[in-house]
Amino acid sequence: MKERLLLSFTLLVVVYTLVPWVVTRIFSIGVFRKGSAGNRIALTFDDGPDPEYTPLLLDLLKKHDVKATFFVLGAKAERHPDLIGRIHREGHQIGIHNYSHKSNWLMSPWSVRRHQVERSADIVSSITGSKPAYYRPPWGILNVFDLFTLKSYNIVLWSVMPKDWRSRIAREKLKSRLETRIREGSVILLHDSGQTFGADPDAPAYMLTALDEVIAGMLQKGLIPVRVDELLEESAEYRLGIFKRVLVSIWMGWEWCFVKLFRVKPIDSMNPLLKIRIREYQGRQAIALPDGEQIRKGDRVAELHLDNYTLYQLGLHSRSPVQLATQLIRQTRLLMPEIGKLMLTDPLYRDVKGLYAITMIHRGSRQLGFTVIDLPNGLFARVTRTYLRLLLYVVHPNGKDRLKEKTALLEPKIVAISKNELKLRYTA
């Protein structure tokens, strides 16, 4: 009986604590961690407002004319309404970081919502006249119910955490960590108070010194710090439904396994759109190409693959299917000389007859020199059709709608080009 109770308790703890950690930290489900908005990033500050360091931080942000997001503790907001008012007046965003700096794992979901989040939101609202809609839990820790009970809030984590709450790191390493880790769309976690558990009281002073130089460097590079709500609004991926994002995460995990298992290599590490592997052609029907070359069963071919994550990102930021197709053709054209060079100079490709792929995205391939051939009827064609239609649903933001329209144009085709044609077109 005791063993069963212990097992039940253990399972309860795992579900309550570890499951939401995996869901949010690994799959980013139900939370916002990183944007995809061009040259913008978000500076965020936790644990304030602090009467010593928050005014200095606000002066610094004003000096560089940039905006940030403050995830404040309700208890501190209650004690320092003047600082909350100043943050709001100067155009920064205010989010909630609980009433006190307690872990959500150690509280019931009702206590988190009523006594931590809603209480803090009411305090901020009474000062600014605007109720916060963004929330970050202390230490980024959520319990399993928070994803449901806090649905009215946008839950924000981070993509860059340089550990600025430690004085030594803030003094010696913070500048270099920020400069090397910040990318377009980054959400950076910093602290304008050193009064919480585990933090060094003087760490924010060193953080401010480093941040002054980092912001100046970012602006010179064209990276613009904005509020989290602005970054999120411009991040197309976050606007997708949770189910679609879960499906994308699972599919990308499968793609990673496929690439590793079958040793599929990118043509250009700086442009990962196209990948390639050598294999034997297994089709029953020979592929006759215009220059007289024929690819028969057992012949070695270079099989071309689209990188589905890159395709997914292109789809997110394309205004229409036509724009997406145009971008694919343009990027493929840029990579074709690299493919030709690889097949003509790498010994591994010595006896390869040509380049081959099965795809539904074949519009425009003829202008690149490919021959487009119908896939022979049979079980393989049916399985391939199902697989590629599912892929389209996953990687295309409007995949569900695309499957309903122009069905005849979504038939998988064989596209192929001989090694000699590659040489004539792209390496002469």
Sequence-ordered alpha helix ranges (H) in 262-356: 308-316, 321-345
* Active-site annotation holds for 46: yes
The DSSP secondary-structure symbol of 377 reads: S
Extract the tokens encoding 169. 């790191």
- Residue 120 gets the label, from left (phi > 0), alpha (psi -120 to 50) or beta, of alpha
Q: Does residue 44 contact residue 183 with C-beta atoms inside 8 Å?
A: no
User: Is residue 401 annotated as part of the catalytic site, yes or no?
Assistant: no
CB 123 within 8 A of CB 72: no
Instruction: Give the pairing of strands 354-359 and 154-155.
Output: unpaired
How far apart, in whole angstroms, are the C-alpha atoms of residue 406 and residue 391?
Answer: 17
Q: How far is CA 17 from the centre of its chain?
A: 24
Strand order in the sheet with 354-359: 265-268, 271-280, 300-306, 354-359, 413-418, 371-374
Cis status of the peptide bond prior to 204, with omega within 30 of 0: no
Which residues are within 8 A (CB) of 78 and not within 5 positions of it... i.e. 6 or more apart?
A: 123
Q: In degrees rounded to 5, what are phi and psi of residue 71? A: -95, 105
- Helix (H) or strand (E) holding 303, with range, is strand 300-306
Which of 46, 47, 229, 299 is catalytic? The answer is: 46
Dist. CA 264–CA 278, nearest whole Å: 8
Residue-wise DSSP of 352-375: --EEEEEES--TT-GGGT-EEEEP
Q: How distant, in Å, are the alpha carbons of 101, 218, 333 from that of 171?
A: 24, 19, 48
Closest-CA residue to 423 (of 369, 347, 366): 369
Element spanning 44, H or E: strand 40-46
Catalytic residue from among 92, 191, 362, 396: 191
Q: Report residue 6 CA to chain centroid gap.
A: 38
DSSP class of residue 236 equals G
Q: Are 41 and 225 in contact (CB under 8 A)?
A: yes
3-state DSSP assignment of residue 131: coil
By annotation, the residues acting in catalysis are 46, 191
